[in-house]
Structure 1
Amino acid sequence: MGTNTTHRANAVLLMLVRNSELEGALSSVMQLEERFNRRFGYPWVFLNDVPFTDDFMQKMSGAIAGPVSYGLIPREHWFQPDWIDEERAAANRAQMVADNVVYGGDYRNMCRFNSGFFYRHPLVRNYKWYWRVEPSVNFLCDTDHDPFLFMEENDKVYGFTITPYEWPLTVPTLWGAVKGEATTCLVDAQCCSTAGRVTEFTTTYPQYIAPNNAMDFLTDDGGETYNMCHFWSNFEIANMDFWRGEAYSKFFEHLESKGGFYYERWGDAPVHSIGAALFARKDQIHFFDDIGYQHPPFMHCPRHQTVRKERNCSCSPFGSFDYNGYSCLRKWELVARI
């Protein structure tokens, strides 16, 4: 099928990737090109904290028929800020490793970059929409419609496929920074000592909270505590102007000032999820049930047999994470219906 160039959104396919991840990156890109982008010809942007090698760029460009750009992340957007107390941060990393927290000793620069900086990069600054793609993921169904145009035409801002629980040890004071309620101190006693005694974001900036928002997806007790539900951000189709907007910008600045990306391990998934749930209407968040996707160990397969047949899906709903005990999809469906 030829490329559809009659009407496209102002959108980009975006991957943050290391040179060493070339094989997995090629696998993801070739699948998405075959399953979706050969029909539409959207550009790709690849970002790295070090320069891409000639080998990476040559092999990647050879796998993509359309426009491709390679960018270096500015140092100030990637590395730990100088004002972070490294002794305190190192002690907390060591504790997470001792507690067997997944990526407990790593991952922080990437989480901070994806939370507050990727949409500012010069190579994506002029785009409105992005589809986040990671190395070594699988696209399990043909996508013969344009999800960017669907989002734009239906006033959506954020789309997801998988929604698990976050590991509580990575975000013990995140909800306190959002709501200001007392927070259970799981890692950092120094940081927790004042939790709940200060006015936090939603109290300081009530004007940013959207009417008919999805707060109830994030909490089971009216906002007292965070239930750890989040949209898994390794797959996102979303509006970068939403992240660039005043509400989310103020929110990220507030979180950044807390140091939780380094003193704990605040992930971009809960940060994006809280931002989307609070600053967008819940009807502006979309579950892409028709896009088959796998990021090991979790997989989403379209639930309806007709969709799976029409989209030539190579998956079974019996292996889907949707209604696994660790999935928050039931919670989302309940909140979305109300």
Structure 2
Amino acid sequence: MMTPMRYVVLVLAIIISLHFILSFSHEEYGRATSLSRLSEQFGGSSPQPPYKNGVPEEYYVPSTPPVQGRRANATFVLLARNGDLNGVVMSMKQVEDRFNKEFQYPYVFLNEEPFSDEFKERVSALTDAKIEFGLIPKEDWVQPDWIDETRAAEERKKMVQNNVIYGGSVAYRNMCRFNSGFFYRQELLAKYKYYWRVEPDVTFFCDLHYDPFLLMEDQKKVYGFTVSLYEYPATIPTLWDTVKEFINANPDLVDPDSAMRFISDDGGETYNNCHFWSNFEIGDLDFWRGEAYSKFFDFLDEKGGFYYERWGDAPVHSIGAALFAKKDQIHFFNDIGYRHNPFQHCPQGDLHKKGKCWCNPKENFDYEWYSCLKRYDALFA
């Protein structure tokens, strides 16, 4: 007979798997996430965390472009292929309309193959901001020679047999490894301190009349997110054992005021699978370039789990941020309405009105039972 806990784990695995492969309509999304009452059973109330106080008014600017005003050393980063062009155009047009037409931050596009002239022409037509196109070095993208391909192929075969999403894909693993440890090392990003990651086919629902990069800079934030949820355990069976091995060897690198409680319910003995959904990130490139995360990624990479399993950049980034930053250096961008199918964050109340958000506030993932936002809130309780 299945115990209640095993039932919860089974349902959770099914839902997390589905989020990779389903592209819900808004109406379907509303039905799929009508589980708020269940979320109350998994959490309970807690004091208002700092992000619910709102953004100070001094960050807001007039509707005219503040190109000559104070600016952060920041850029948008888009990893895309030529075949992603239509999805890139959709995402980029919204970034411009919702935010960047006022701020004119530059863009860096990265691809493992040269961008086509059509790609360059169509995205360049969307903005007056500077755009740079980078070719990823082969050694930063392809599966390393030291990976045992026989072993890796056997593990991919097992994942396919077990219906693990992207379980048989080497290309997906290349992408996860690149986003985990190589994107911030690219030559075109060397001159920047902050980045905003944008992906094809995402939606931004709200006008943003303040500069989130300056908020990051002034408040010494290193990582910003909009959605958090549980990782699919079948993709990372030995990741946390590897993390513990690193912590035991480098205890001085873990910040005393870290967000460990976001990722572990027992002081680091086990991983609760919570992570920030890294398809949206606003972050500090110097944090990833720093000693702690650099050593951490290199340690993980040497274990081969990006290829022998299917370690994603979302749990790797999240664990890195949770361990090596102070908990108050991680910021929930509550006022940035965002959707990556099938989940979305839709600002509520005054934030919805202030941003002229067009998402349905009832379709909001924040406190559904498979969201991890309550665990983030609990860091400040």
Judge same fold: TM > 0.5, yes or no: yes
Once residues 331 and 94 of structure 1 are traced to their aligned partners in structure 2, the CA distance between those partners, rounded to angstroms, is 35
- C-alpha distance in 1 between matches for 2:314 and 2:132: 25
CA deviation after TM superposition for structure 1 residue 207, in Å: 1.0
Hey, what does 2:353 align to over in structure 1?
309
- Residue of structure 1 aligned with 2:162, choices 89, 99, 124: 99
Tell me by how many angstroms 1:76 deviates. 0.5
Task: Structure 1 unaligned segments of length 5 or more: list them.
Answer: 180-199
1:1-338 matched pairs, under 5 angstroms = 1-5=63-67, 6-106=69-169, 107-179=172-244, 200-303=245-348, 305-335=349-379, 337-338=380-381
User: What CA deviation, in whole Å up to 9, does each residue of 1:87-140 have, x standing for no partner?
Assistant: 111111111112111221221000000000001101111100000000000000
Q: Aligned partners of 1:162 and 1:131: how far apart in 2?
A: 15
Q: Secondary structure at the match of 1:299?
A: strand
Where do 5+ consecutive residues of structure 2 fail to align?
A: 1-62
SS of residue paired to 1:164: strand
Aligned to 1:184: none
Letter of the 2:346 counterpart: C
Following TM superposition, where does structure 1 have runs of at least 4 consecutive aligned residues deviating by more than 6 angstroms?
A: none
Cα distance in 2 for partners of 1:221, 1:237 equals 29
- Counterparts of 2:105 and 2:124 in 1: how far apart (Å)? 14
The 3-state SS of whatever aligns with 1:104 is coil
**What's the CA shift for 1:2?**
3.0
Alpha-carbon displacement from aligned partner over 1:233-279 (angstroms, at most 9, x marks no partner) = 00000000000000000000100100000000110000000000000
Q: Secondary structure at the match of 1:302?
A: coil
CA distance in 1, matches of 2:269, 2:360: 38
Using the alignment, how far apart are the partners of 1:125 and 1:102 within structure 2?
34
* Cα offset, 1:326, TM superposition: 1.2
Letter in 2 for 1:3: P
1:317 is displaced (CA, Å) by 2.4
Q: Percent identity between the aligned chains? A: 59
Tell me which residue corresponds to 2:29. none
> Aligned residue for 2:41?
none
Mapped to 1, the partners of 2:340 and 2:237 lie a distance apart of: 25
CA distance in 1, matches of 2:264, 2:234: 17
Cα distance between partner residues in 2 of 1:38 and 1:327: 32
Q: CA RMSD in A?
A: 0.8
Select the structure with the greater relative contact order (CA < 8 A; seq sep ≥ 6): 2
C-alpha distance in structure 2 between counterparts of 1:306 and 1:68, whole Å: 34
Give the 3-state SS of the residue equivalent to 1:254 in structure 2.
helix
